[in-house]
Structure formats: structure tokens, C-alpha cells
Amino acid sequence: MSKQNNLPQILNVATIPSIENMNIKTEVLDPITITQNQAVFQIPKNGILDGGSMVQLAVLADPVNFFPLNTGIHGLVKSCFLKVGGKVLASNSDYAHYTTMMRQFESPEHRAYVDMVKSGAIGDRFSQETDSRLVYRDMEVSGASGTARELKVPLFLRPSLDESTTPIFSVPLSVLIPMMRSRQLPLMAMKEHVYLEINFNKQIAGSPGAITCVDEGQNAKSAVSVSTNNVKFISDHLYYTTEKMDNLVQQTLSQNGLSFLFEDLNVTNANIPSVSGLSGVQEQRVERKIAVSGKTVRNIMVAEKNVNQNHSFLGQYVSTDLIAPSSYNFRINDQLVYDREPKEAPRKYNELSEVLGKPLMVPSQLFSFDVDTDKSRQDKRYNQNSVFIGKVNGHKMPEEFNSNVSTQTNDIRATSHYIGYDATSTGFNVLGNGAKIGVKPILFQKTYTRQPDQTGTVKVAGQNEAREMRIFCGVEKAAVIKNGEIIMSA
């Protein structure tokens, strides 16, 4: 299959150099099937499908529930697939974790002023308390600074048990399906039906964290159901001049057809065993295979946390490092990427920024423990707490010197610690320059600095537990539309 050098400009998500006449037809679609587990939409084969189309989502739950502060309504979606006939064109199989990570690369102002009302996430902007501690900015506030301060998610972002009053949120198709960030789909040139399949997460009473979190002491009211009457697909179809649309159709009917590259998402899950019997600091070196043999890889991003870690107000969607930082490396086509493994927070942050050409836009405390640890110690024990020490929806934050182990499950420090690697050959964010992987899979190597749980004045917990890892690879795929049929590479 040839590359996208013959891709018409009207299918490429980019600024068109000349002024074009374009009409947009919007259709509000009900799902052809919907249950508490899944919704399926059949998209009309009209015009060109725009990535700005929206899926409308809502849930029913007691108002003591609120959406994870960094995730919002995205926690409802488990996976999603764009299908042509019976073939999967593009997918996102670990959607909520991936989207929580990706939205933190957007500016805090965009997330607060635009995305907050669309997704229900509210933990995106920060300010300083009078004692210079980091504190959430956009939540309702009561009490003075320090331990008396309490922050709450406002009622207008909380679900209700009534379908007519529960808030309705919207998610762009380009967020659900990464392919649609750079490509638009010529529906009018396809014979087979096009479907959007969305699979939902489940959450029962007593087990918050997958879709919503709950106020302190309200776990029994954490049951959530999909508001099926409010789930819609707002489908935008683009129409250019008759000449351009005809030329596009003629290209699909030609001998070579219409070929194009697009980016899809490949997910590899891995587990890291716990380390027991520690009497001091000990290294644990592991190696995990990334299942991308024979593919073209554009980037690698890794999210990781303790097994079954579930934050009181961030839910399941955190990615954490240990207090003593870990180092990592990749072996691609039998060659190590780094001569010296990235270990310290600034180097990791810089490598992660290369993936999308912009930095992870969160305070440094959310990326690592580096700000609050003693660099002269091998175990990097805490020597301060620069994050506010009050409550969030009744959940007590760690005190100044982490004197209570039970509150460390509410710590927001190092909960946005991601690893990233840009595998493109040119460093430019264009398709066609990914790394071609041979028959051997990519090896991800990581060295942990493990230590036993500490007691005394400063307490440290969870440093030797089993870990769960999600490795997201952006991979290039090729497709050809010919005589109404679509053929895709593996």
C-alpha cells in the first residue's frame, strides 16, 4: 500500500491552504442497540465524517457521587471501536486510562474553561494557599487554610438519579478514536455500513473508582448505571464542492484506489511482582515485551500503579512512581535506546514531552515526589509536604510529614507520573516516519528502587507491592478504499 502522498486535502485534519466552500450536515443518532454494557451507532454513509462529531454520555447515580477529578465522564467508557462492516478500522481498548493521560497534555485553561463542562473533570488548575501549599483551584471551598480547609465538587458536575436532571456530557469522536485526530472518513465512498461501538465500565454499590468516586463514608451509594435515554451520537458530515467530492469518489474507483496512512493504538498490559522480606533498599530489575512485532511504531507511553490501586477522588486512573525514582530503557530491534537510563524526574519529563511535542501540563508535584524528598538519603524519604493538607469531599489528605499511613491513599503527589518515548525518525508529528519493528518485540526494561514500609515520625507505605503496567503504542497503519471496499494492514 502506498503512503498518504495522494491523500486529498479534504481528508487530512489540517488547515487547507485555500479557501473552500463547505457545508456541514449534523445528524443526532440514537444507538441501534444499547444496554448497560454497550452502545452501538450506525453512521449514515453520507459525506465525510468529521472528527469533531460528538458522543453524548450521561449516568444515573446518587449525588454523593462525583467523577474522578482528572478523568470525568471518560471513566464510563471501557473501550471503543470504529468498524466498517465486520472489520475493526481503529480502536481504543483501554480508553479511560489513555484519555486521562492524554488530556493532561492540554493547557489547564482549556481543560478548565472548555473541557470541564464537557467531561465533568475539575482537577485541572491549581493555586497556592497562604502557606504556599499547592491546592485545587476550581472546587467549592470551605474552612480556613491548613487542615480545616475542605474542597468539594460542585453539584452541577455531579450525577443524579433522574434522567431529566443528571448532567449530560459530550466526548469528541477524535478523543474516542485516535485515528480521527488526523484523518476524516469518506463515508460516501464506502459500500459497507460504518459502526461506532462503545463498551461501558461497570460500577456496583460498595466499589467506587471505575466510573465515579464518592464523598467520604458514602461507599454504599456508589452504584452507577448508564442513562440510556441520554446516550446519542451527534454526527457531523462534511460536504465540499461537487467537483472535489466527485474527484474523491473517482479516486476510490481508480485502479489503485484511495490509500492513506493513519494512527491506531496498541495496548500491552503487564504485571510486576511484589518484593517481600526487605530489610532495606533493594533494586528490582524487570523486562517486559511490548507486542508490536512487524508494526511501525510512532511513540510509546507507559502508565503504571500498584495493583488495584484506587484513589479516593482520582479513582482508578492514576499512574504513580515509587518514592525513590525508578529508571527505564527500551530495546528496539536489538538496540538500546539510552546509553544512560533516564531516572531523575527532569530527564523523564523531557522525554515524555517529546512524544506529543508539548509538555505534560501538571504541577511538578503531580509528576514525581522529587520536590518533597530528601536527596541525601538512599530511600529518598519525605522531608516535607508541599501539597495542601485539608480534605477533598471529606477525604483527608496526608499531613505535613505523612505521619498517618491511612491518609497516604489520598496523596495526589506523583499520581500523574507517565513514561514516554518518541520513536519517530524525524521528530515531526506527521505520519510516515515511525520506527519499523522487526520480528522481535520491543523490550521495556525497568529498574525499581524497592524499600520496606517505614514507621516512625515519617511513614512510607506501598513501596514493595505488585504493580500493573499499561503500555500504549501509537502505531501506523495503512488502508485502501477501492470500489467501495476497504482493505487494512495488520
Q: How far apart are CA 350 and CA 199, in angstroms?
A: 34
Locate 314 and state its grid cell. 482520582
Long-range CB pairs of 202-206 (<8 Å, 24+ gap) are 202/36, 202/37
Q: What is the pTM of this model?
A: 0.94
DSSP state of 398: P
Is residue 490 exposed (0-12), middle (13-18) or buried (19+ Cβ within 10 Å)? Answer: exposed
| Assigned C-alpha cell, 367 | 509528576
Tens of pLDDT along the chain (490 residues) come to 444 446 777 787 766 666 567 899 999 999 999 999 999 999 999 999 999 999 999 999 999 999 999 999 999 999 999 999 989 999 999 999 999 999 999 999 999 999 999 999 999 999 998 888 999 999 999 988 788 899 999 999 999 999 999 999 999 999 999 999 988 999 999 999 999 999 999 999 999 999 999 999 999 999 999 999 999 999 999 998 888 899 899 999 998 899 989 999 999 999 999 998 888 899 999 999 999 999 999 999 999 999 999 999 999 999 999 999 999 999 999 999 999 999 999 999 999 999 999 999 999 999 999 999 998 988 888 888 999 999 999 999 988 777 677 778 899 999 999 999 999 987 666 788 899 999 999 999 999 999 988 767 777 888 999 999 999 999 999 999 999 899 988 6
Tell me the CA distances in angstroms from 453 to 301, 328, 363, one per residue in order. 29, 23, 27
Three-class SS string for 289-351? EECCCCCEEEEEEEEEEECCCCECCCECCCECCCCCCCEEEEEECCEECCCCCCCCHHHHHHH
Which helix (H) or strand (E) element contains residue 103? helix 95-103
Neighbours of 419 (CB within 10 A): 23
Beta bridge partners of 305: 468
What dotted CATH number matches 4-488? 2.70.9.10
Domain residue extents for the chain: 4-488
